[in-house]
């Protein structure tokens, strides 16, 4: 997977683009993986780990009513996270992640492995819903980070 991180760092640096992340269920894995690459300071703007609902509301200005109505793991919350991160960070590309990494905490409606990944670049905003089959927490986190990187590649 490190090849993918290296590819993203080189590509964004070459294009003089910056990226920011707001992570929930990945707990900073994406930011940590990007910053482990030498030269990432040229393209990495900020990483926020907004794990709690309170952090999503306070730091990312996700409306409390959005979380109450749809839940922290939802298209609506992910969309609000990425839009507000973009405003806060002023990065060229913003990524938001929220999901159920497990192994506990899943429900019938929101099972373990359900993840939403938001991407905003300019006026284009996309939120992808993914359901990873693994029940292992780290596998879900790594798969989510990898999917976020693929989304960045697809938009470049």
Core vs surface per residue 115-126: b (16+ CB within 10 A) or e: bbbbbbbeeeee
Q: Kindly report, residue by residue over 85-117, the tens digit of the pLDDT.
A: 999 999 999 999 999 999 999 999 999 999 999
- Between CA 156 and CA 153 the distance in angstroms is 5
CATH superfamily of 2-155: CinA-like (3.90.950.20)
The pLDDT value recorded for residue 135 is 84
- Between CA 143 and CA 151 the distance in angstroms is 12
Task: List the structure tokens of 144.
Answer: 């989510």
Domain boundaries, the chain: 2-155
Q: Is the separation of the CB atoms in 152 and 8 below 8 Å? A: yes
DSSP states of 83-100: HHHHHHH--SEEEEEEE-
The pLDDT value recorded for residue 122 is 96
Q: Kindly report, residue by residue over 6-24, the tens digit of the pLDDT.
A: 999 999 999 999 999 999 9
């Amino acid at each position: 997977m490190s090849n993918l991180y290296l590819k993203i760092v080189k590509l964004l640096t070459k294009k003089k683009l910056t990226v920011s992340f707001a992570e929930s269920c990945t707990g900073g894995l994406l930011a940590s993986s990007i910053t482990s690459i030498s030269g990432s300071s040229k393209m990495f703007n900020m990483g926020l780990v907004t794990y709690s609902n309170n952090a999503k509301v306070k730091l990312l200005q996700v409306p409390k009513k959005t979380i109450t109505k749809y839940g922290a793991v939802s298209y609506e919350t992910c969309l609000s996270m990425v839009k507000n991160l973009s405003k806060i960070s002023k990065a060229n590309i913003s990524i938001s992640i929220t999901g159920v990494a497990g192994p506990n905490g899943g429900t019938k409606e929101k099972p373990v492995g359900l993840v939403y990944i938001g991407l905003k670049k300019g006026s284009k905003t996309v939120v992808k819903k993914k359901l990873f089959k693994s029940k292992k927490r780290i596998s879900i986190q790594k798969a989510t980070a990898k999917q976020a990187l693929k989304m960045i590649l697809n938009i470049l």
